[in-house]
Amino acid sequence: MINSFFLGSIIPLVMMIVLLKKQSRIIMMFFAWGLVAFLISYYANTAIIDATGLNTAGLSVSWAPIIEEFFKALPLLYFAFFRKTHPPLFHYAMASGIGFAIQENYLYLVTNVYSLVYIVVRSVTTCLMHGMTTAMIGYGISLIDKSAKGYYYPFLFGLFTFSVIFHTLYNLYINSNAKILGLLMAPLFYLVGYLVLNDSKKVTSGGYAK
Amino acid sequence: MQYKKISAAFVCIALVWLFFSAATFFTALVEYPWLEQCANIIELIVAAVVAGLLFWQYHRSKSMLTLAVFSAILCWTLRELFWFSYVNTTNVALPYPSVGDFGFLGYYFFMAGALSQIPIRNKRGLIIPIPALIILIPGFILFQTASGPGVLILNLVFLIAIAFVSYQALEKYTKITNTMFFATLLFALNDLIFIIEVNTKDYTFLCDMLYPLSLSLLAYGTIKAGERYD
Contact B116 A151 (CB under 8 A): yes
B51 Cα to chain A: minimum distance (Å): 14
Residue A206 included in any domain:
no
pLDDT at A102: 93
- pLDDT score of A204 more than 60: no
Residue of A137, A143, A161, A202 to mutate, interface with B, max B Cβ within 10 Å: A161
Whether the CB-CB separation of B135 and B160 falls below 8 Å is answered with yes
pLDDT (tens, 9 = 90+) of chain B, 230 residues, equals 687 888 888 899 989 988 888 888 888 777 877 888 888 899 999 999 999 999 888 888 888 888 889 999 999 999 889 988 998 888 888 887 788 888 888 899 999 888 887 777 766 666 777 777 777 777 777 777 767 777 788 888 888 888 888 888 888 777 777 888 889 988 888 888 888 877 776 667 778 888 899 999 999 988 888 776 65
Q: Report pLDDT digits (tens) over A42-101.
A: 999 999 999 988 888 888 888 999 999 999 999 998 888 877 666 778 899 999 999 999
Whether the CB-CB separation of B63 and B71 falls below 8 Å is answered with no
Dist. CA B7–CA A196, nearest whole Å = 24
3-state secondary structure chain A: CHHHHHHHHHHHHHHHHHHCCHHHHHHHHHHHHHHHHHHHHHHHHHHHHHHHCCCHHHHHCCHHHHHHHHHHHCCHHHHHHHCCCCCCCHHHHHHHHHHHHHHHHHHHHHHCCCCHHHHHHHHHCHHHHHHHHHHHHHHHHHHCCCCCHHHHHHHHHHHHHHHHHHHHHHHHHHCCCCHHHHHHHHHHHHHHHHHHHHHHHHHCCCCCCC
Phi, psi of B29 (to 5 degrees): -70, -35
- pLDDT score of A205 more than 60: no
Residue A205 included in any domain:
no
**In total, how many domains does chain A have?**
1
pLDDT at A135: 94
Dist. CA A173–CA A187, nearest whole Å = 14
- pLDDT score of A7 more than 50: yes
Name chain A contacts of B85, Cβ cutoff 8 Å. Answer: 169, 172-173, 176, 178, 181
B86 Cα to chain A: minimum distance (Å): 7
Residue A91 included in any domain:
yes
Residue A172 included in any domain:
yes
> Residue A34 sits in which domain range?
2-199
Contact A176 B90 (CB under 8 A): yes
Q: What are the structural domain ranges in chain B?
A: 2-229
pTM over 0.90: no
Phi, psi of A147 (to 5 degrees): -70, -20
Residue A122 included in any domain:
yes
Name chain B contacts of A181, Cβ cutoff 8 Å. Answer: 85
Range name among A35-44, A96-105, A187-196 with the lowest pLDDT average: A187-196
- pLDDT score of A207 more than 50: no
| Binding-site residues on chain A for chain B (CB distance < 8 A) | 61-62, 65-66, 140, 143-145, 148, 150-152, 154-155, 157-158, 161-162, 164-166, 168-169, 172-173, 176-178, 181, 199, 203, 209-210
Contact A61 B106 (CB under 8 A): no
pLDDT at B202: 65
pLDDT at A203: 52
pLDDT at A208: 40
Q: How far apart are the first and last CA of chain A?
A: 46
pLDDT at B114: 86
